[in-house]
Structure 1
């Protein structure tokens, strides 16, 4: 105790902390290091922003290759260790969980906000001045400047109209996988409409978990289609391959003779004993299968193995049998058919049985699949499946992420149908208004507010750069258009190579969801302010020994 109380003042903070600790403080030691780390992650994801964004090839610790332009997937796969950069990663994950889209805007805008602070610090501003200015600009942006932009675009009026959903979903899909939005948007809209409640009263709503994707390698994306029901990526176990208006029973266990809990020994003295033992086992299995068939069941689904004896009697009584190994797939089938997964082998009660209008086995892309489909307007099905076709597994995975973002966008639109101009139009208009607001603010805050306005230009500038346009010409033309009252003017990514084109369209056809945009801007501002409020970093010695302490430089 006496030794631990002997504090060496000459050693500074190192003499107070346990051996192996590291501490950095001050503007140079902590704040600027954090800003540099956040700039690095922002630089990585920024080139993936927009329809012309580039893909990143990430090989994770398991050796899995991920090729994607989706920001949330990229930052998750990078396994970021720096604590400040982790804040941007967590903000992107929060945006992905809440809205499913706008994750790149979060990281890019937060990184640009922090990049602007370097010049402010060189001018002599204190971090508290920058935080104060950014807070004022953020509040003004979200409360006063952004809401009027939603009045420029007709909002989504009816969430149960397919054309309205397609209008909202198409820009989201184009930003993820340009060229496929005309094919995928109607599929996403149809799948979402298939899971919505049939009641016409109240706002439209559905669960994103109710829209699933079945990926089948081969073919072309134009061969993708929607199934109102469940698609199992394996064939039936029986020779019968189709049934209509069928009752379905789902077993969470296998369909086989159950093993005894205690070990037992059967003494057989002759061949007759062996024959009678087998006959008794067969008789018992036949009784179980017969009771299932007598209850009216046409389809048996097993969550485990199906014995040959059980399969023989299932065939004899004219039923279909499907084996599903995944418990998650089993749950989805239960949702699609309205069945209850049983943990016992026996005849189900009417409440435990599900119903399906059509079950059939088809061959898609050279592999057998089993389709449980419900008719239009069926009250049983609460699940829709998009059967996705593509040439390679990496394209399939990227298309699945794009569809997931589209489904989230449809759900967000059903909750809040307000829209704002996209293609950098909203950000450019906000930048001009924030700069005008800075001219009305006295004190040192005005410099931070003006830097905030400049940071908003990162979206149109990046869209122009990723499209191969001259960003200085595009920004000048876009700023002039907005100063002239064209509030919906945005970046024209199709202007590349056109002689005399400014890269700006006066009335953009790209639309963004207001809720997604507001959420992304708020999370980016909060993440940047959190990083700027850090003035000291203290790291404990890493456990395990033998490794290099601290992963941050």
Structure 2
């Protein structure tokens, strides 16, 4: 009988980790991510300094920002980072909670794997615990309405700012967030709907955060390219272009040879004629303001001046789209196709000095209630952190308005869920009961971390917190400022319930995904 030759399915450079080794490796990576941002949780959380390859420095304790800036290679760790990204996209806050919960769920799963509990059983138990948690959270929620609960909304905004570097200005930023969101909120048949796309954030250094303003309209950080253009236009007709106002390039590569001054003059006259025709076309539509995403030729600028047209060039694409939406304009790519129907309207477009620079204000927009938050700060790093903080606050206030409910913070929901999940687990039996109890243990990691970061004894604090919940004080949580357990609703520490639900949902799904991996194949070389 002929000797069988070995069959090689994979390249010999492929590194392979199987079974429990693969699971353990992935879990350790996830736990490392959790440990990285653990100290940022809560009002006493610490900041991280992030320095990129170009030397740019970011100081923040925002979990999403920290993980987004880190150079993470491990595939399982990247999955945990995606949990943070999803949490940030869906609700704008709770990223650290989501990552910590994922890390702890996997840590507890590792203990169960050592007891020879199959990953499928663990995943099923976790899913069941998550579903039960959603039911319990719905029983704990507090309904709100935008018309009557402005103070509650400000507390929601302040809670989102907890532990941030600009916490000293939380009252100003909280009011700014609530005023901004309520301005762009409409009442519908199904409730309220906050349209955050209608809010534009503009930052300027050179003043204090207390100088932050809300401007009804849009502020574009650009000034007119020609000094003789009008500073102010009223009853505006606005053309929005995503093309340049320059001489068009030929479709084929061509070389123009000029042998005499006369030929050069004719060439220049032909270019000027093309530019003049473009400006004439804009003027014929009735436009008296032009916002252009690309360049505007110097000669074209003079023709615009002659027609009394105010213009901006090289406006960011995002601003171009916002201007079009706010004024009712159509974004036009070919000037020859521009018509009166493409124009937008606003009451006023004006240029004004701000912090030593010239900016453009668009006020009285036709189509929607556009709003600009003009955020001020003494330094670039301070204003960047204030922008991240205010952005989170705006997101959570909008979530609270859209969903119409809040829940206590400070670890209160996690403590209540942990208590009730243990009671629920006792009714299940079997190995799934162990997984549900492990889920309850993982939830306790949130108040434990809050206590630890506040300088309290974690275990003593948790024992006292659990006692409060056993006595039916479901809103009892950890006050990191006064370092004690108190009723968090009375302290005004409130969050949209969606933050908690999304964190548990994302953490459970990511944990299940990691647990189901028992074989990791990675190439050592790249071509």
Aligned to 2:225: 237
| Match in the other structure for 2:93 | 101
Paired with 2:342 and 2:113, the residues of 1 have a C-alpha distance of 67
Aligned pairs for 1:71-82 (under 5 A) are 71-82=63-74
Q: Distance in 2 between matches of 1:215 and 1:403?
A: 11
> 1:61 offset after TM fit, Å?
4.9
For 1:163 and 1:505, the matched residues in 2 are separated by 17
User: Counterpart in 1 of 2:454?
Assistant: 467
Going from structure 1 to structure 2, the CA distance change for 1:351 and 1:542 (only over 3 Å counts) comes to farther
Mapping 1:62-461, distance limit 5 Å? 63-122=55-114, 125-143=117-135, 145-150=136-141, 153=142, 155-158=143-146, 165-174=153-162, 176=164, 177-197=166-186, 201-239=189-227, 240-261=230-251, 263=254, 282=272, 285-286=275-276, 288-290=278-280, 292-293=282-283, 295-345=285-335, 348-374=338-364, 379-381=366-368, 383-461=370-448
Task: Indicate conservation of the 8 Å contact 1:109/1:455, yes or no.
Answer: yes
Query: How big is the shift at 1:277?
Result: 6.9
SS at match of 2:288: strand
For residues 126 and 260 of structure 1, do their structure 2 counterparts lie closer, same or farther at Cα, with a shift above 3 Å needed? closer
Is 1:530 equivalent to 2:513 in the alignment? yes
Given the alignment, which residue of 486, 492, 507 partners 1:504? 486
How far has the Cα of 1:260 moved from its partner? 4.8
CA contact (8 A) 1:474 1:504 kept: no
Runs of 5+ unmatched residues, structure 2 = none
Bigger strand fraction? 2
Q: Aligned partners of 1:441 and 1:257: how far apart in 2?
A: 76
Q: Give the match's secondary structure for 2:418.
A: helix
- The alignment status of 1:520 with 2:503, answered yes or no, reads yes
The 1:466–1:286 alpha-carbon spacing in structure 2 relative to 1, beyond 3 Å, is same
Structure 1 window deviating more from structure 2 (420-429 vs 311-320): it is 311-320
Question: After the TM superposition, which of the residue ranges 338-347 and 236-245 deviates more from structure 2?
Answer: 338-347
- The count of residues paired between Structure 1 and Structure 2 equals 521
Aligned mates of 1:265, 1:438 — CA distance in 2: 83
Specify the SS of the correspondent of 1:86. helix
**Could you say if the C-alpha distance between residues 123 and 200 of structure 1 is closer, same or farther in structure 2, counting changes exceeding 3 Å?**
closer
Counterparts in 2 of 1:256 and 1:121: CA distance versus 1, 3 Å: closer
Give a deviation string over 1:282-337, Cα, whole Å, max 9, x none: 56655653554454332222322222322223222322221124333322222232
Contact 1:420–1:426, Cα closer than 8 Å, also in 2? yes
Residues 127 and 279 (structure 1), Cα distance of their counterparts in 2 relative to 1, 3 Å cut: closer
Greater Cα offset, 456-465 or 437-446: 437-446
1:75 positional shift:
2.0
CA distances 1:326-350 after superposition (whole Å, capped 9, x unpaired):
3333222222322223233369422
- In the TM superposition, residue 132 of structure 1 has moved relative to its aligned partner by 4.3
- C-alpha distance in 1 between matches for 2:482 and 2:405: 28
1:492 aligns to 2:479 (yes or no): yes
| Maintained 8 Å contact 1:95/1:519 | yes
User: 1:34 touches 1:531 (CA, 8 Å); kept in 2?
Assistant: yes
Unaligned runs of 5+ in 1: 9-14, 497-501, 546-553
CA distance in 1 between counterparts of 2:210 and 2:273 reads 51
Aligned partners of 1:330, 1:361: CA distance in 2, in Å?
17
| 8 Å contact from structure 2 (residues 304, 310) kept in 1 | yes
Report the Cα distance in structure 2 between the residues aligned to 1:49 and 1:85, rounded to whole angstroms: 19
Tell me how far 1:264 sits from its aligned partner.
7.9
